[in-house]
Amino acid sequence: MKGKKRKGGMDRRTFLKVAGVGSLAATTIGFPAVLRGAQRKEILVGSMHPITGPTAYDGQSIANGFQLAIDQKNAAGGIKSLEGAKIKVILMDTESKPAVGEADAEKLIRDGCVALVGCYNSPVTMVATQVAERNQVPFIITISVADEILQRGFKYCFRVQPDSTNMSELTCKYIRQLADMKKMDVKKLALMHISGFGSSIANKLTQFGPKYGFQIVGDVSYGYGVSDLTTEISKIKEMNPDVVFDTGYLADGILKLRTYANLKVEPKGGIIGCSNGAYSNPTTIKELGSLTEYLMDGNYYFNPKGVLTAKVIPEYKEKFPNVAFQSHSVHAYDAGLVLIDALERAASTDPRKIRDAIARTSLKLHMAPGGPIEFDATGQNVNAMITLQQIQKGDIKVVLPDEYADATPVYPYPMWGEKAR
């Protein structure tokens, strides 16, 4: 039933309330007239990401990915259609808090930014995009998966990465493909997820699971910033599922993996990440070592066969040696490419003209799998897609679909007790 709240989940109205989204009727922020139409030698762009708090490491990796694209363009001579104007990125720390993100967006626009990018945490992105829309300043989402962000009829908001519909359906599809290939009877599916964006994913998994032969036997959620998940994971174990789909951020993902191992949660179909910030993350491998071997994650990632991959990743590692390049960095880098391309075609620092140029984007050269980056009327990249990653011998490999794979999937894969041997 439309609007009905599931146990452990979140309906659209509740998501909007949690995110702190109100009316667009508020007045716009004063924007310097010179920036609305006049050209300038320096183009101000706001980057809004969590640099402190539980998701700080992820936030920094996203901010770095975007910054790298901008730095490369500046080093190559800047925006040629604007007489070589350089882009200056102003980084703001959202602290993963919607109220802070809202204030950051207002300040950045007030200070003259002609475009904003962000924000990683979906509730923060909900309010930041509202500020941008109200002030007619384009906003390119680096990372934020919740479908609800683009379901408000906004014209100035664009998302490069796959949304929660794409991530949920393709994760179901890939695991069903593997189970059928191995003739495994995998039907009972349990969902484990963080609240907020995780609830958006869980809602979609509940929708698509039955389409791919999964019966949802339970749904366990938990709050942001938890320090213990023994009770929640014990509930998952009691459900005796064939497979677990798990959604969350990096810190809570590492905590969950330790707890799964300690409690010996070993479903035959595996514990599979779905939009999981930890399960295809090099930091998790560094932290947990062999416990991560063979973990799978349905998530956005880079195209290992792409022409940019061999160039961008080494440059990132050299420039940012203390923060690992990860899947989040990919779409942040691509968001930078979208903005650069739009500025060149707009030949203007007028936010409205930049917005129109973004809407007409058809960017073939980017880091992610899939076709050209092109946006539909809602602002979603219509060719965005996830792949299925698996950790093999300490490396993250793409195993599905075949056209992007650089390794063969190991499935079913050994669980905790077998790894210990």
pTM for the complete prediction?
Answer: 0.87
Rounded Cα–Cα distance for residues 371 and 369 (Å): 7
Say if residue 81's pLDDT is above 90: yes
Q: Where in the chain is the domain with CATH 3.40.50.2300?
A: 20-162+306-359, 165-299+386-420
Task: Kindly state which CATH superfamily the domain 20-162+306-359 is placed in.
Answer: Response regulator (3.40.50.2300)
Going by pLDDT thresholds of 50, 70 and 90, the confidence category of residue 16 is: very low
Query: Are the beta carbons of 220 and 206 closer than 8 angstroms?
Result: no
Q: How many Cβ atoms sit within 10 Å of the Cβ of residue 371? A: 14
Rounded Cα–Cα distance for residues 189 and 298 (Å): 15
pLDDT in tens, 363-386: 999 999 999 999 999 999 999 999
Say if residue 275's pLDDT is above 60: yes
- Beta-bridged to residue 93, according to DSSP, are 49
- Give me the pLDDT at residue 211, please: 97
Secondary structure (DSSP) of 217-278: EEEEEE-TT-S--HHHHHHHHHH--SEEEEEE-HHHHHHHHHHHHHTT---TT-EEEEEETT
Q: In this structure, which amino acid lies at residue 239?
A: M
For the chain, what is the mean pLDDT?
Answer: 91
Segment 409-419 mean pLDDT: 84
User: Structurally, what CATH architecture does the domain formed by 165-299+386-420 represent?
Assistant: 3-Layer(aba) Sandwich (3.40)
- Give me the pLDDT at residue 40, please: 53
Segment 117-126 mean pLDDT: 95
Tokens in use for 409?
Answer: 């999937």
Nearest to 229 by CA among 260, 275, 196, 274: 260
Segment 113-139 mean pLDDT: 97
Rounded Cα–Cα distance for residues 297 and 351 (Å): 37
Say if residue 13's pLDDT is above 60: no
Say if residue 212's pLDDT is above 90: yes
pLDDT in tens, 321-346: 999 999 999 999 999 999 999 999 99
Residue scoring higher pLDDT (22 or 375) = 375
